């Protein structure tokens, strides 16, 4: 079976700065792949390429069987299949939690009002926020807002979920509640790519850990990789983290 995401020698530059220097990486269906590395290593850029937020300059990137960036890619279609959650939540502040969750299903997938409400109830239950449906984002804690953002993505019934440092703005307690939601998604078999600084969490949830360094896949392996790094760079990275 072809992988959900396949990077083949992908290059990406911002002006003169080359951020991705030839990434080759497969994300098999049902797997959880965690990208780790220092700031500036290119992990967030790699993640953002997967749903077309960044365009690649060289190499090939296939997502859900579609080749991206050949000028014909229908980004809207792709984004119905690939959900993304950001560090800064980006909930729509003028809409209630329920309206945040149902906006895209109603307008993009043309789901009816009643069905959309049921859908919202379902995904909000998944993230443990059923009772907040009628609240506004500003009435919620950071952790709750991030869980709503996850629910909002899930409402589009994506095949693949991307998480870009989703707990970096949260204190440890709130981080825990968000990570538990992600763990449950992993158990349910959702294919996911995560960028995170939570090494303990990465070890627990990842099928594959990818250490990125200077725009390259420097080292990769299962969860045990972090305990026995092969390269000096990963050794150093792990040492500074612990």
Binding site for another protein (CB under 8 A): 51, 53, 75-77, 79-80, 83-84, 86, 88, 90-94, 96, 103-104, 107-108, 136, 138-139, 149, 152-153, 156
Radius of gyration of the chain (CA): 18
Least separation in angstroms between residue 161's CB and another protein is: 11
Nearer to another protein, 77 or 187 (CB): 77
Helix (H, G, I), strand (E, B), or coil: what is residue 78?
Answer: helix
Helix (H, G, I), strand (E, B), or coil: what is residue 156?
Answer: coil
Give the number of other CB atoms < 10 A from CB of residue 231: 12
Distance of alpha carbon 10 from alpha carbon 26, whole angstroms: 12
Q: Please, are residues 121 and 115 in contact by the beta-carbon 8 Å criterion?
A: no
Q: Please, are residues 119 and 112 in contact by the beta-carbon 8 Å criterion?
A: no
Least separation in angstroms between residue 126's CB and another protein is: 17
Nearer to another protein, 153 or 191 (CB): 153
What does residue 81 show for φ and ψ, rounded to 5 degrees?
-105, -15
Least separation in angstroms between residue 76's CB and another protein is: 5
Distance of alpha carbon 63 from alpha carbon 49, whole angstroms: 10
How do 58-63 and 5-14 pair as beta strands? antiparallel
Nearer to another protein, 108 or 125 (CB): 108
Least separation in angstroms between residue 4's CB and another protein is: 17
Least separation in angstroms between residue 75's CB and another protein is: 8
Axis-axis angle for helices 113-126, 142-154 (nearest 10): 130
Nearer to another protein, 1 or 113 (CB): 113
Least separation in angstroms between residue 65's CB and another protein is: 17
Nearer to another protein, 104 or 206 (CB): 104
**Among 142, 146, 147, 241, which residue's Cα sits nearest to residue 200?**
241
Nearer to another protein, 13 or 87 (CB): 87
């Amino acid at each position: 079976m072809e992988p959900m995401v396949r990077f083949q020698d992908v290059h990406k530059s911002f002006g003169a700065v080359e951020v991705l220097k030839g990434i080759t990486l497969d994300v098999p269906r049902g797997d959880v792949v965690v990208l780790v590395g220092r700031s500036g290593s290119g992990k967030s850029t790699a993640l953002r390429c997967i749903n077309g937020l960044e365009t690649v300059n060289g190499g090939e990137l296939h997502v859900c069987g579609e080749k991206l960036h050949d000028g014909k890619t229908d980004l809207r279609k792709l984004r119905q299949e690939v959900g993304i959650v950001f560090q800064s939540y980006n909930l729509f502040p003028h809409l209630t939690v329920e309206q945040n969750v149902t906006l895209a299903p109603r307008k993009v997938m043309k789901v009816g009002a009643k069905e959309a409400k049921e859908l919202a109830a379902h995904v909000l239950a998944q993230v443990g926020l059923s009772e907040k449906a009628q609240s506004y984002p500003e009435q919620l804690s950071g952790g709750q807002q991030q869980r709503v953002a996850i629910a909002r993505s899930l409402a589009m019934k994506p095949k693949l979920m991307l998480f870009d440092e989703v707990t970096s703005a949260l204190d440890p307690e709130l981080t825990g509640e968000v990570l538990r939601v992600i763990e449950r998604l992993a158990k349910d078999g959702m294919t996911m790519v995560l960028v995170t600084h939570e090494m303990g969490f990465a070890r627990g949830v990842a099928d594959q850990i990818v250490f990125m360094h200077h725009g390259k896949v420097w080292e990769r392996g299962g969860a045990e990789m972090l305990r026995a790094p092969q390269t000096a760079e990963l050794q150093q990275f792990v040492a500074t983290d612990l």
